[in-house]
Chains A and B, each alone.
Chain A
């Protein structure tokens, strides 16, 4: 007897009791759907984070001066010297000084606007282009000029697109607008990345009373050399400061890696929890198959009297369990896809975040293989029970 005959027998039996087969599958269906959607969400989250971080620049390193552990305080020139010395690794440098203080246009306060003191290469590092006017230049920095480059939102909303030459106030000080940046986001919002001001870092440091900038952004020639460049920077800084606590070098790509790893852990844990429902589903299959073997004791006896070998009975029942389970797996996969697209739409409308919930091919293959395997594993015990039935006892059973 061929194995295909066992499949036919299994399908006949499943067809003869559809409702029971479906209820038996339910555990598997739910488990597979849950695993797929969870893995899909994780996948989507990772993709979303990656695109966010790409915007922030994964080809940069950030140096933060903590000011502790060393008697020496580094100047912008010190850092510039390091960058110049390794010009094959580093292509640009900008100090960054964040400013607190209300921005006012006329008598209106712009509470969500962020103000950053930057160097002349900051726009290059960030990949910002100018829409109008000029960038902050060397002269502005040396002279601590009170000039600023504004984000497109400010130009649009507060100056109707004619902001160059106009003035605004930052913490009470009057600044002249010299340039407008290109629009960053598709839809400009208050507090978004178009609602910001750039001023010379030297001006920012003086006005906020910080002295030397405490943070620098360095652009890398090659993103793949992030680790090497980061090590080199740390080494150079250590030589100057002689304390590991006085500085910190961090890269967006390292942060991204850490975040990805964290998401991975969370998703794995969730998927394992969802996977437990697969085991529960498997136990359900075993339960039903045991009932089925008992119900069909007489059938088994008849089949044996007619010449069925133990292995035919075994394969008939194992295949029946595996087919039920695999069918559940297929339904679960279809539902997983359905639910994933629903989740994608729901997330984008409710959270206004473009995050595609996309189940991975791996998770689908694992889910399907796993469900079939669960059927085989949990179907084996009942099938063995059936196969080993004594034909005389089985024939007498009713």
Chain B
């Protein structure tokens, strides 16, 4: 319970994001309030078009809300300029994308070192940290390979190593298993779980209830609104029920 007393790491206050498509207004995020605390493992679930990527972009400081406030580590992201946003992304966030998004011409090691370069670390530090991160995802023997020489699961592990490298406050994973078969997907989820167990804050975005069930806490979105926010094992979370229905 004392965890709840500390200020939240991620805090949405009536966050709205609207897109204007001609005459119609799309509310991709509609007065969302939520708080995520340090060390939590949260899954944001919802059907396609429910606003998951919109939330993820805002949490990831890639986009700013149309109205409302987003606070990350106590700072109001809406008031930051582009440079500060870039710095914040570099320091506070580790991204894991569905399509891995590795740089194809760089070696695995160099890929992991990219955020460290933008953090101003020198060559030696970069190498050391990147090697360590790759070791922790079990890819210490692939450092000199190009991403194209790895399997999908291995590539996703590289991208996890990259997300970890700069020791971020939040690890943000958008459909991390979307491009993987169920077995390698499991491995990636296990890796995320172990990161959480090691004390990292993990936010997992998915449309798949069975994947959301991996998390401690589930936030369900529908049409840009939060319709459920609570423990994953609560019956109202819906994540287990649909899994059963799905099978």
- Chain A residues near B60 (CB, 8 Å)? 305
Within 8 A of B (CB), among A90-134: none
Among A302, A310, A395, contact of B86 (Cβ-Cβ < 8 Å): A310
Residues of B close to A13: CB separation below 8 A: 105
B120 and A309 contact, CB distance less than 8 A: no
Give the residues in chain A near B83, CB-CB below 8 Å: 309-311
Q: Is residue A303 within 8 Å, beta carbon to beta carbon, of the partner chain? A: yes
Q: Are B82 and A392 in contact (CB under 8 A)?
A: no
Nearest-neighbour CB distance to chain A for B226, whole angstroms, equals: 22
A293-313 at interface with B (beta carbon < 8 Å) = 298-299, 301-312
Q: Check if A305 sits within 8 Å of B95, measured CB to CB.
A: yes
Identify which of residues 86-126 in chain B touch chain A, using a CB-to-CB cut-off of 8 Å. 86-87, 89-91, 95, 97, 101-103, 105-106, 114-115, 117-120
Q: How far is the CA of A1 from the CA of B103 in the complex (A)?
A: 19
Q: For the complex, give the distance between the alpha carbons of A134 and B95 in Å.
A: 101
Q: How far is the CA of A101 from the CA of B106 in the complex (A)?
A: 85
CA distance in complex: A214, B87 (Å): 88
Interface hits, B49-78 → A, CB 8 Å: 57, 60, 62-63
With A1-B117, A5-B117, A307-B118 in contact, is A395–B90 under 8 Å at CB? no
Chain B min CB distance to A294 (Å): 16
| Alpha-carbon separation in the docked complex, A299 to B87 (Å) | 18
Q: B207: shortest Cβ distance to chain A, in Å?
A: 17
Tell me how far the C-beta of B118 lies from the nearest C-beta in chain A, rounded to whole angstroms.
4
The number of chain A residues with a CB under 8 A from chain B is 22
A392 to chain B, nearest CB (A): 5
Asked if B196 is at the interface of the complex by the 8 Å CB criterion, the answer is no
Chain B residues in 8 Å Cβ range of A86: none
Tell whether, in the assembled complex, residue B118 and residue A306 are in contact, meaning their CB atoms are under 8 Å apart. Answer: yes
Q: Which of A13, A298, A299, A391 has the most CB of B within 10 A?
A: A391
Q: Which residues of A contact B120 (CB under 8 A)?
A: 1
- Give Cα distance in the complex from A12 to B101, angstroms: 19
Contact B119 A307 (CB under 8 A): yes
Interface majority SS (helix, strand, loop, mixed), chain A: helix
A19 CB contacts on chain B under 8 angstroms: none
CB 8 Å contact bits of A354-394 with B (1 = contact, 0 = none)? 00000000000000000000000000000000000001100
- Distance in angstroms between the alpha carbons of A259 and B119 in the assembled complex: 62
B157 at the interface (CB under 8 A from A): no
Complex contacts, A395 vs chain B, CB 8 Å? 62, 97, 101
Interface check A16, CB cutoff 8 A: yes
Inside 8 A of B86's CB, which chain A residues have their CB? 304, 307-310
Contact (Cβ within 8 A) B101 A302 = yes
Complex Cα gap A260–B63 (Å) = 65
Cα–Cα distance between A306 and B166 once the two chains are bound (Å) = 10
Return A325 CB to nearest CB of chain B, in Å: 21
Verify B82–A306 contact, CB threshold 8 A: no
Given contacts A13-B105, A312-B118, contact A307 B91 (CB under 8 A): yes
A306 adjacent to B62 (CB under 8 Å): no
Considering only CB atoms, which chain A residue lies closest to B99 in the complex?
Answer: A398
B101 in contact with A298 (CB, 8 Å)? yes
Give 1 or 0 for each of A281-324: 1 = CB within 8 Å of chain B CB. 00000000000000000110111111111111000000000000
Binding site for A on B (CB under 8 A): 57, 60, 62-63, 82-83, 86-87, 89-91, 95, 97, 101-103, 105-106, 114-115, 117-120, 162, 166
Residues on A facing B (Cβ under 8 Å): 1, 5, 12-13, 16, 298-299, 301-312, 391-392, 395
